[in-house]
Amino acid sequence: MKRKLSDAGDQSPVSTPKRRRTALEQSNGALNGLAPNAALPNDDASYERPPSEQGQSTPKKVNGVSATPLQQSGLKTPTQKSKARGLFATPTKPKSAVAATPSRVKNADRSARKKSARVLFEQDEDAAWDGSERLAEEILHGDEPDTEKAGQPLAESIEPEGAEEASEKGVKQPKRRAGRPKGARNKRSPTPEGELPAHERYFFQNRAGPVRTSNATLSKVPLLTHEEYFEKLGQYEDPCKEEKEYLQSLHHRSFPQWAFEFDEGFNICLFGYGSKRKLMDEFAEWIYNHGLSATTTPTIVMVNGYTPGISIRSIFATIVTAVMGDDAPSKLGAQPAEVLELLQSALKSHEEPVTVLINSIDAPPLRRAANQALLARLAATPLIRLLVTADTPNFPVMWDISLRDQLNFVFHDCTTFLPFSAEADVVEEVNTLLGRKGRRIGGKDGVGFVLKSLPENARNLYRVLLTELITLLDDGHQSDDEGEAEVGGKDGDETGIEFRLLYQKATEEFVASSEMMFRTLLKEFHDHQMITSRMDASGMEILGVPLSRDEMEGVLEDLVLG
Amino acid sequence: MDIDGLNDALGLSNDKSQNLGTYIYQPPKHGKSAGERPSKRRKVSSTAGKDEQADRQRFVPLLNGDENAESVQLRYDTYQELWSNQENKIQDILEDVDAGVLTDVLSFVRDTSPQTCDGCIPTALVTVGSNVSSLSRLLSRLNGQLISTEEGSVVVLESGDAPNLKTTLKNIIRATVTNTDGNDGYQKFLTDRAGPRLLGYDLDLLHDYVQRKGTKKLVLALRDSEAFDPGLLTDLLSLFKSWLDRIPFTVLLGISTSVELFEGRLPRSCVALLRGKHFEVQEAGNCVDRIYESLQTDPNTNLWLGRNVTSTLFENTSDYFQSPEAFSRMVKYAYMSHFFANPLGVLLANPDSTILAQTKLCETVRNLPSFRMFCEDLVEEGSIKQVRDMLEDDEYLIQETPKYLDANQQRMRNMFQAVHVVHTCLQYTQSAKKTNVSDLSVRALSGELSESTIVEEMVAMAKTLDSDKLDKLLGRLRGILISPEADVIQEDLRTLLETCSESGPLRSGYNINSTVTKTTVVQQRIRLSKGQADLSEQAVEYTNIVDRLVALLQVHLTETLINPQDLFLHEAFLFDLRNPLKETFAPRPRFAIERALATPFDYLLSSSDVTMTKVSAKQPATAILYQLYLDSGALVNVHDLWQAFYGVFETEEADGCDDRVVMSLFYGALSELKAFGVIKNSRKKTDHLAKSAWMGL
User: What is the per-residue pLDDT across B258-300, written as a single tens digit (0 to 9) for each?
Assistant: 888 888 888 888 888 888 888 888 776 778 888 888 888 888 8
CA nearest to B497, candidates B473, B466, B476: B466
Residue of B602, B664, B666, B688 to mutate for A, most A C-beta atoms under 10 A: B664
Residue type, position B697, single letter: L
CA of residue B535 relative to chain centroid, distance: 54
- Paired residues of A356 in beta bridges: A301, A386
Nearest to A291 by CA among A354, A244, A229: A354
C-alpha to C-alpha distance for A392 and B674, rounded to whole angstroms? 10
Domains, in order of start, for chain A: 2-212 (no CATH), 241-413 (3.40.50.300), 435-561 (no CATH)
What is the 3-class SS of B75-110, one letter each residue?
A: HHHHHHHHHHHHHHHHHHHHHHHHHHHHHHHHHHHH
From A6-10, A434-438, B220-224, B225-229, the region with the lowest mean pLDDT: A6-10
Instruction: Test B22 with A234 for CB contact under 8 angstroms.
Output: no
A356 pLDDT band (50/70/90 cuts)? very high
Interface test mutation site (partner B, options A285, A416, A425, A428, max chain B beta carbons within 10 A): A285
Q: Spell out a b/e string for B109-131, using b for 16 or more CB atoms within 10 Å of the CB, else e.
A: bbebebeebeebbbbbbbbbbbb
Question: Given CA atoms A544, A546, A550, A553 in this order, what sign does their dihedral have?
Answer: negative
Whether the pLDDT of residue B106 is over 70: the answer is yes
Residue pLDDT, tens place only, B7-19: 655 656 555 677 7
| pLDDT for residue B456 | 81
Which residue, B319, B309, B330, is CA-closest to B130? B319
pLDDT at residue A481, as a whole number: 41
**C-alpha to C-alpha distance for B207 and B246, rounded to whole angstroms:** 6
Chain A residues within an 8 Å CB radius of B695: 198
What average pLDDT does the segment A119-135 reach?
Answer: 49
Q: Which amino acid is at A119?
A: V
∠ at Cα A372 (A366, A374), nearest 5°? 110
CB-CB contact of B612 with A288 (8 Å): no
Mutate to test the interface with B, among A71, A224, A243, A553 (most CBs of B within 10 A): A243
Q: What is the ipTM of this complex?
A: 0.83
Position A449 scores a pLDDT of 77
Q: Which residues of A touch B688 (CB under 8 A)?
A: 181, 211, 213
Close Cβ partners of B392 (under 8 Å, ≥ 6 residues apart): none
* Cβ(A191)–Cβ(A29) below 8 Å: yes
Q: Which of A81, A224, A307 sits opposite B650 (nearest CB)?
A: A81
Is the dihedral angle over the CA atoms A495, A499, A500, A503 positive or is it negative? positive
pLDDT bucket at A358, cuts 50 / 70 / 90: very high
Instruction: Give residue A488's pLDDT band: very low, low, confident or very high (50, 70, 90).
Output: very low
Nearest-CB residue to B683 (from A259, A420, A491): A491
Residue A146: enclosing H or E segment and its boundaries?
A: none
pLDDT tens string B237-251: 899 888 888 888 889
Out of A401-415, B400-414, B539-553, B577-591, pick the least confident.
Answer: B539-553
The angle at the Cα of B315, spanning B311 to B319, to the nearest 5 degrees, equals 180
Is B174 in Cβ contact with A338 (below 8 Å)? yes
List all residues 6 or more positions away from B401 whose beta carbon is below 8 Å from its beta carbon. Answer: B347, B356, B365, B569
Report the first-to-last Cα separation within chain A, whole angstroms: 59
How far does the CA of residue A347 sit from the closest CA of chain B (Å)? 11
Name residue A384's amino acid.
I
More confident residue, A118 or A471: A471
Segment holding A413, helix H or strand E = strand A409-413
Contact B589 A394 (CB under 8 A): yes
For residues B356 and B347, give the distance between their C-alpha atoms in angstroms, rounded to a whole number. Answer: 8
- Predicted pLDDT at A136: 52
For the stretch B430-456, pLDDT in tens is 666 667 788 888 888 888 887 788 888
DSSP structure class, residue A492: G
pLDDT of residue A485: 37
Contact B176, B153 (CB under 8 A): yes
- pLDDT winner (highest mean) among A367-371, A547-551, B83-87: B83-87
Query: According to the model, what pLDDT value does residue A389 have?
Result: 93
pLDDT tens, position by position, A190-227? 344 567 787 888 888 777 777 677 878 777 777 787 77
Min Cα distance A138 → chain B (Å) is 27
CA dihedral for B112, B114, B120, B126, sign (positive or negative)? positive
Type of residue found at A134: R
Identity of the amino acid at B223: R
Which range is least confidently modeled, B74-83, B406-415, B683-692?
Answer: B683-692
Cβ–Cβ < 8 Å for A185, B633: yes
Nearest CA in chain A to B27: A285
Q: Classify B154 as helix, strand or coil.
A: strand
Residue A114 CA, chain-centre distance (Å), reads 40
Which residue of A lies nearest to B317 if distances are taken between CA atoms? A401
Cβ distance A236 to B596 less than 8 Å, yes or no, reads no
The SS3 assignment for B630 reads helix
Chain A hits for B185, CB-CB cut-off 8 Å, are none
Nearest-Cα distance to chain B for A66, in Å, is 18
3-state helix, strand, coil in chain B (%, to 5): 65, 10, 30
CB-CB under 8 Å, A218 with B594: no
Beta bridge partners of A542: A498, A534
Q: Each residue of B598-608: pLDDT tens digit?
A: 888 888 876 55
Q: Are B180 and B243 spatial neighbours (Cβ–Cβ below 8 Å)?
A: no
Contact A342 B644 (CB under 8 A): no
Give the pLDDT band of residue B584 (cuts 50, 70, 90). Answer: confident
Residue of A nearest to B691 (CA): A485
Report chain B's terminal Cα–Cα distance, integer Å.
43
Distance CA A74, CA A96 (A): 6
Of A244, A281, A301, the CB nearest to B24: A301
Cross-chain residue pair A205–B691, CB shorter than 8 Å: yes
Where on the phi/psi map is residue B150: left (φ > 0), alpha (ψ -120 to 50), or beta?
A: left
| Three-class DSSP category at A264 | coil
Backbone angles phi, psi at B303, to 5 degrees: -125, 130
pLDDT at B326 over 50: yes
The shortest CB-CB distance from A304 to any of B21, B28, B665 is to: B21
A559 in Cβ contact with A458 (< 8 Å): no
Three-class DSSP category at B520: strand
- What is the structure's pLDDT at A412? 92
Q: Looking at residues A222-238, what average pLDDT do you find?
A: 81
Task: Tell me which chain A residue has its CA closest to the CA of residue B22.
Answer: A303
Residue A275 and residue B37: Cβ atoms within 8 Å?
A: no
Contact of A425 with B672, CB cutoff 8 Å: no
- How far apart are the C-alpha atoms of A366 and A384, rounded to whole Å? 19
Q: Is the pLDDT of residue A339 over 80?
A: yes
Domains and CATH numbers, chain B: 3-69 (no CATH), 115-282 (3.40.50.300), 589-691 (1.10.10)
Q: What's the whole-number mean pLDDT along residues B548-576?
A: 84
Sheet architecture: strand order including A354-359: A409-413, A267-271, A384-389, A354-359, A299-304, B22-24
Q: For residue A271, give the chain B residue with the closest CA.
A: B589
Q: Assign B475 a pLDDT band (cuts: 50, 70, 90).
A: confident
Give pLDDT tens digits for B156-215: 888 877 888 888 898 888 888 888 887 778 878 877 777 777 788 888 888 888 888 888
Least confident of A448-452, B72-76, B363-367, B527-531: B527-531
Indicate if the pLDDT at residue A334 is higher than 50.
Answer: yes
In tens, the pLDDT along A73-96 reads 444 444 444 444 444 444 444 444
| Predicted confidence (pLDDT) at residue A156 exceeds the cutoff of 50 | no
The whole-number average pLDDT for the span A156-178 is 41
Residue A311 CB partners (closer than 8 Å, separation 6+): A336, A365, B21
pLDDT in tens, B108-150: 888 887 777 777 888 888 888 767 777 888 888 888 888 888 8
Sign of CA dihedral B657, B663, B668, B673: positive
In this prediction, residue A266 has a pLDDT band, given cuts at 50, 70 and 90, of very high
- Asked if the Cβ–Cβ distance from B583 to A411 is below 8 Å, we say yes
Which residues of chain A does B167 touch, with a Cβ-Cβ cutoff of 8 Å? 335
Mean pLDDT of B306-333: 84
pLDDT over threshold 50, residue B642: yes
Are B684 and A261 inside 8 Å of each other by CB?
Answer: no
Residue A414 pLDDT > 60: yes
- Give the pairing of strands B688-691 and B679-682: antiparallel
Inter-chain residue contact A201 with B694, CB threshold 8 Å: yes
Secondary structure letter of residue A95 according to DSSP: -
Q: Is B517 helix (H, G, I), strand (E, B) or coil?
A: strand
Across the interface, whether the CB atoms of B160 and A373 are under 8 A apart is answered yes
DSSP string, B288-338: HHHHHHHHHH-TT---EE-HHHHHHHHHHHHHHT--HHHHHHHHHHHHHHH
pLDDT at A411 over 90: yes
Instruction: Judge: B675–A374 Cβ closer than 8 Å, yes or no.
Output: no
Pairing of β B304-305 and β B515-522: unpaired
Contact residues on chain A for B639, CB-CB shorter than 8 A: 175, 214, 216-218, 221
Cα–Cα distance for residue pair A525/B5, rounded to 1 Å: 40
Distance CA(B277)–CA(A453), nearest Å, equals 74
Collapsing DSSP to helix, strand or coil, B59 comes out as: coil
Instruction: Phi first, then psi: give them for residue B246, nearest 5 degrees.
Output: -110, -35
Give the separation between CA A60 and CA A50, rounded to whole angstroms: 16
Other Cβ atoms less than 10 A from the Cβ of B586: the count is 16
Least confident of A42-56, A358-372, A440-454: A42-56
The string of DSSP letters for B176-231 reads HHHHHHHHHHHHHHHHS-SSSPPPTT-HHHHHHHHHHHT-SEEEEEETTGGGS-HH
pLDDT at res. B619: 82
Average pLDDT over residues A542-550: 80
Which of A81, A89, A238 is opposite residue B651, by nearest beta carbon? A81
Mutation site, A171, A232, A409, interface B, largest B CB count within 10 A? A232
pLDDT number for residue A57: 40
Contacts of B545 (CB under 8 A, 6+ apart): B470, B489, B492, B493, B496
Report chain B's C-alpha Rg in angstroms. 35
The answer to whether B109 touches B124, Cβ cutoff 8 Å, is yes
